[in-house]
């Protein structure tokens, strides 16, 4: 039987009332990592439309993991618990809530998009960025290459953030490993020139993400679905490729990941991406079929019939719209 957009989907013990999901959207409206009234209005308004899932924007597992000085972070109970009224309202509408655990790595410490300059100074709340290697993104500052001890510490902090989020009532935890952020910086050969156990071979480059996934899965309940968002390709010949994503997804499935949220790009500032309707759907379809794991499709999905076609033709299990 062909599934359709408004059929429920069950992952572990969580049933989403439909497959129309709200994509995470950076709002740049938090204060020192703490959300306020803007997020209440923004996220609750989506809940009134009764999607299956609302995914909260990329939120730093540590303050230095935020993309900008206006992004949320999850390092304290106070910051995570600020989402509880939003979660409770969503649940009253039978809408599930998810959150992206993120670290922006070398793409962090920016101002908000509407400010008159890109990089936040120390006085403005900025910080030293980190990455797999000391390779800057485009014209941004050079990051500090993480030590092994720092990698281990961050792995624990991903797990702690996941536990806080689950305790606050989030239904889904997603590890953000796409768009050129820290975990992507490790698995892409373009940004990882390390010579230790976290660099070089494919297995070494994916090690950090696998360790984070293992730690997060350990910290949350067996009944809680775990998603990972990846960039399926860097869109350049010598970068990360779809075949790599399929191999990675097979390993993530073995570690207890329930769904791969398939995006692309973000690690190379001038990658020749030509966005068009459904341009990332073939990646979601290939990973779903080759790795035998549920996927979501995202990117220029704007029409109801288009979204339904993706589901009914088994190209993905849900669609993220924003």
Contact 237, 190 (CB under 8 A): no
Degrees, nearest 5: CA angle 256-260-264: 145
Question: Alpha-carbon torsion 266, 271, 275, 280, what sign?
Answer: negative
3-state secondary structure labels for all residues of 101-147:
EECCHHHCCECCCCCCCCECCCCCCCCCCEECCCCCCCCCCCCEECC
Kindly give the residue spans of alpha helices, DSSP state H, lying in the chain.
37-47, 77-81, 84-92, 148-168, 182-187, 202-205, 207-219, 242-254, 281-291, 304-312
Q: Report helix angle 242-254 to 207-219, nearest 10.
A: 30
Q: Which of 272, 219, 265, 215 is nearest to 240 (CA)?
A: 265
Active site residue 198: no
Instruction: 121-127: list long-range contacts, CB under 8 Å, 24+ apart.
Output: 124/69, 125/32, 125/69, 126/69, 127/63, 127/64
Q: Could you say which of 28, 137, 181, 198 is catalytic?
A: 181
- Integer CA distances (angstroms), 181 to 47, 93, 105, in order: 28, 33, 6
- Integer CA distances (angstroms), 279 to 94, 274, 303, 307, in order: 31, 8, 14, 13
261: β partners: 229, 296
Contact 23, 322 (CB under 8 A): yes
The continuous run of DSSP H or E covering 197 comes out as none
Catalytic residue ranges: 181
């Amino acid at each position: 039987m062909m599934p359709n957009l408004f059929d429920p989907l069950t992952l572990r013990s969580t049933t989403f009332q439909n497959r129309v999901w709200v994509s995470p959207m950076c709002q740049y409206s938090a204060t020192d990592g703490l959300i306020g009234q803007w997020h209440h209005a923004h996220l609750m308004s989506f809940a009134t439309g009764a999607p299956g899932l609302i995914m909260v924007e990329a939120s730093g597992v540590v303050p230095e993991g935020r993309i900008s000085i206006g992004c949320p972070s999850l390092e304290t109970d106070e910051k995570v618990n600020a989402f509880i009224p939003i979660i409770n309202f969503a649940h009253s509408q039978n809408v599930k809530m998810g959150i992206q655990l993120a670290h922006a790595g070398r793409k962090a410490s920016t101002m908000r998009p509407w400010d008159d300059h890109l990089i936040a100074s120390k006085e403005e709340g900025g910080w030293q960025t980190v990455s797999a290697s000391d390779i800057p993104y485009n014209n941004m500052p050079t990051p500090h290459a993480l030590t092994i001890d720092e990698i281990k510490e961050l792995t624990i902090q991903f797990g702690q953030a996941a536990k806080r989020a689950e305790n606050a009532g989030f239904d889904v935890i997603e590890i953000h490993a796409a768009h050129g952020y820290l975990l992507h910086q490790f698995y892409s050969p373009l940004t990882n020139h390390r010579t230790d156990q976290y660099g070089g071979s494919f297995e070494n480059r994916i090690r950090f993400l696998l360790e984070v996934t293992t730690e997060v899965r350990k910290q949350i309940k067996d009944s809680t679905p775990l998603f990972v968002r990846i960039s399926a390709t860097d869109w350049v010949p010598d970068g990360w490729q779809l075949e790599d994503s399929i191999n990675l997804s097979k390993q993530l499935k073995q570690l207890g990941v329930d769904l791969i949220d398939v995006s692309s790009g973000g690690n190379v500032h001038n990658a020749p991406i030509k966005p068009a309707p459904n341009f990332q759907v073939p990646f979601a379809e290939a990973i779903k079929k080759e790795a035998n794991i549920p996927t979501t499709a995202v990117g220029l999905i704007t029409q109801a019939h288009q979204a339904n076609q993706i589901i009914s033709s088994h190209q993905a299990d849900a669609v993220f719209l924003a």
